[in-house]
Amino acid sequence: MKPSDIVKIQTIVLDPNLDVIATSIKEYKGYNFYDLLSPPKSAIRDAMRSLKEMQSISADISISTPLTPIEQYSVVILRTPSHYFLTLVPLTPAMQLVETVTKLEEYAYTDQLTGALNRHAYWKLLETMLYEIGRENLGLGVIFLDIDGLKGINTNSGYAEGDSTIAFVAKCAQKSLRKYDLLIRMGGDEFLAIFRIDPKKDFTVEDMAMRILNTVRRESGGNISVSMGANYIKPGVIHTLVSGPKWKKTWNNLYNDLDSKLRKAKKEGKNQAILSL
């Protein structure tokens, strides 16, 4: 569906007395524009009459006739030497279009199983966050986590149970994070948590790692655990990162280090977080 299928732009031409002499909305023809306004707004009428030639104004208005319901429009009014030209955009369809686009974007950026962000959102939101915290001189916490023993769950209880476990862990991580923090499903049972840290006020990256570990253990009754690699990126490093032309390559090096720490946590007994020093 094209935007033009949802939002249809309308036009009205008025004579100097504000009578409708031409319009794409046939029901409005023959009326005086002031009488169409619901309720009548003398401020708009006065503003129109005070316009000089080739000047314009814009406003949100409601229009109706005795035979038509009230319609809301965003209107641009242009005065010419002999007429007023009105361009109207229906507000309700426009808002529906915005809502539709928002939902589509959310769908494109959200992992449908877990509600976490997906890899499509990863680079876009990461870059935005890095520039924001760089400007605010904050640090960044990054945790790469993986579910322990998921392969055994899939083998013994089926893939549906495995999917439930993945969704459960994502919910626990989201419960531990703040609303403006990022949780990305990188694939399978691997998640990346990215969160800003104010060195003067906030918790440490180790605090967040333990919060997620404890939430998973507590909420699952000890039946599910995760392993993690974690890192704290200092404000000075963030400044260097965002100012570099190859920042994605630098970030990937940080990500690979996290992956190594995660594998080490798995090897050394699981159910733990290993921090980069």
Domain ranges for the chain, please list them. Answer: 3-95, 110-275
Radius of gyration (C-alpha) of the chain in whole angstroms: 29
127-179 tens-digit pLDDT: 889 888 988 889 999 999 999 999 999 999 999 999 999 999 999 999 999 98
Mean pLDDT over residues 81-105, rounded? 77
| The predicted structure's pLDDT at residue 17 | 93
Q: Is the pLDDT of residue 243 over 50?
A: yes
| The predicted structure's pLDDT at residue 223 | 94
pLDDT tier at 248 (50, 70, 90 boundaries)? Answer: confident
* Three-class secondary structure assignment of 182-209: EEEEEECCEEEEEEEECCCCCCCHHHHH
| The predicted structure's pLDDT at residue 237 | 85
Short-list 210, 207, 204, CA closest to 234:
204
| The predicted structure's pLDDT at residue 183 | 96
The CATH code that applies to domain 110-275 is 3.30.70.270
Of the two residues 95 and 212, the one the predictor is more confident about is 212
From CA 257, how far away is CA 265, in angstroms rounded? 13
Q: Is the pLDDT of residue 229 over 80?
A: yes
For the chain, give the percent of residues with pLDDT over 70: 92
Question: Which fold is adopted by the domain 3-95?
Answer: Beta-Lactamase (3.30.450)
Q: Is the pLDDT of residue 96 over 80?
A: no
CA angle at 266 for the pair 263 and 268, rounded to the nearest 5°: 110
Question: pTM of the prediction?
Answer: 0.65
19-60 tens-digit pLDDT: 999 999 999 999 999 999 987 778 888 899 899 989 999 988
- 258: how many CB neighbours lie within 10 A of its CB? 22
